[in-house]
Amino acid sequence: MIKLIATDMDGTLLNAAHEISQDNIEAIKYAQSQGITVVIATGRAFYEASTPVAETDLSMPYICLNGAEVRDESFNIMSTSNLNHELVQRIKGILNREDVYYQIYTNRGIYTEDPTRDLDIYLDIAKQAGQEADVEKIKAGIQKRIENGTLKVVDSYEDIEDIPGELIMKVLAFNPDVEKINAIGNELSDIPSLAISSSSRGNLEITHFDAQKGIALETIADKLNIDLKDVMALGDNLNDVSMLERVGYPVAMENAMPEVKAIAKLVTDTNENSGVGKAIMKLLNEENK
């Protein structure tokens, strides 16, 4: 019996416009009315993840930065897992050696040395999703994030650790050469304290080993005294695997990567067609028969 649901955001709960459809909203509300806890589980930082949710009247806990930060429904931080100085230096050393662009996510914002490279990331994500990118809209979005302080431009990433209270939670690396980025991912995977995943083709999401969606979801389930066999998780990409492989009801989107579909018990509709809402209603209606 489903008692807890965790859903990824990009490519899963959100459509291409980065919105939560009305069908998805209604399905989540229905689940909550049945006493089921619904959790956001995303690679996004909280300040990015909360924006689409704020446009609805939904209230949910958040697993952010692939599990590096967990917040309750009132946005209180429940747990964090950051990268220490030694790990950060090893990561930067490998990425700099290979001339791979990366962003650094902290507890306070996202840091970039070159906003023009950020544009390349968004254009490639749209391309891989088969979408026509609106360059001017993306540029405006980047500028807005700079102006509101969630995207911070620095001369050097070396300066970040000198800022009091700043904790490095995730490094997001990007390169269109998939063979190259995969080789770097394999090298980083040899560092025992790191977790390496991906949220789109050509990127690497690098966090502490303890910062994985599956570990964070398992911790939430334990606190709620819910067995993982009674948990449903929905996702589309490799950073969702750690939670899908742990739960009793793993669901992949139709637009998911083959590796994700391979471990799913159900493949639902695409993120453009409210696949999350359809999966929730399908499984809950089957239980209520």
**CATH classification at residue 97:** 3.30.1240.10
pLDDT at 88 (0 to 100): 96
The 3-state secondary structure of the chain reads CCCEEEECHHHHHECCCCCECHHHHHHHHHHHHCCCEEEEECCCCHHHHHHHHHCCCCCCCEEEHHHCEEECCCCCEEEECCCCHHHHHHHHHHHHHCCCEEEEEECCCEEECCHHHHHHHHHHHHHHCCCCCCHHHHHHHHHHHHHHCCEEECCCHHHHHHCCCCCEEEEEEECCCHHHHHHHHHHHHCCCCEEEECCCCCEEEEEECCCCHHHHHHHHHHHCCCCHHHEEEEECCHHHHHHHCCCCEEEECCCCCHHHHHCCCEECCCHHHCHHHHHHHHHHHHHCC
Looking at the structure, tell me whether residues 57 and 93 fall in a common domain.
no
Record the tokens describing residue 62, joined without a space. 């958040």
Angle at 155 between CA 172 and CA 51, to 5 degrees: 45
Looking at the structure, tell me whether residues 190 and 231 fall in a common domain.
no
Distance CA 63, CA 44 (A): 9
Distance CA 181, CA 95 (A): 10
Lowest-pLDDT range of 109-123, 156-170, 237-251: 109-123
pLDDT tens digits, 152-187: 889 999 989 888 999 999 999 999 899 999 999 999
Give yes or no for residue 57 having a pLDDT over 90.
Answer: yes
Distance CA 68, CA 88 (A): 15
Record the tokens describing residue 166, joined without a space. 């700043």
Number of domains forming the structure of the chain: 2
Give yes or no for residue 129 having a pLDDT over 60.
Answer: no
- Strand 266-267 relative to strand 69-71, pairing: unpaired
Place of tokens 């650790």: 161
Looking at the structure, tell me whether residues 129 and 68 fall in a common domain.
no
Looking at the structure, tell me whether residues 33 and 106 fall in a common domain.
no
Closest to 6 in 3D by CA, of 265, 260, 247, 258: 247
Residue finishing a domain among 158, 190, 208: 208
pLDDT at 130 (0 to 100): 58
Distance from the Cα of residue 227 to its chain's centroid:
23
46, 88, 149, 205 from 163: Cα distances, Å: 20, 15, 15, 23
Distance CA 134, CA 131 (A): 9
Looking at the structure, tell me whether residues 111 and 74 fall in a common domain.
no
Looking at the structure, tell me whether residues 192 and 91 fall in a common domain.
yes
Partners of 39 in the β-ladder:
6
Looking at the structure, tell me whether residues 202 and 92 fall in a common domain.
yes
Segment 247-261 mean pLDDT: 96
- From first CA to last CA, the distance across the chain in angstroms is 12
Looking at the structure, tell me whether residues 225 and 202 fall in a common domain.
no
Domain assignment of residue 150, given as a range: 85-208
Q: How confident is the model at residue 27 (pLDDT cuts 50, 70, 90)?
A: very high
Q: How confident is the model at residue 255 (pLDDT cuts 50, 70, 90)?
A: very high
Looking at the structure, tell me whether residues 281 and 261 fall in a common domain.
yes
Partners of 196 in the β-ladder:
206
Looking at the structure, tell me whether residues 176 and 151 fall in a common domain.
yes
Segment 15-43 mean pLDDT: 95
Looking at the structure, tell me whether residues 45 and 101 fall in a common domain.
no
Residue finishing a domain among 208, 236, 254: 208
CATH number for the domain spanning 9: value is 3.40.50.1000
Looking at the structure, tell me whether residues 126 and 177 fall in a common domain.
yes
Residue finishing a domain among 153, 173, 208: 208
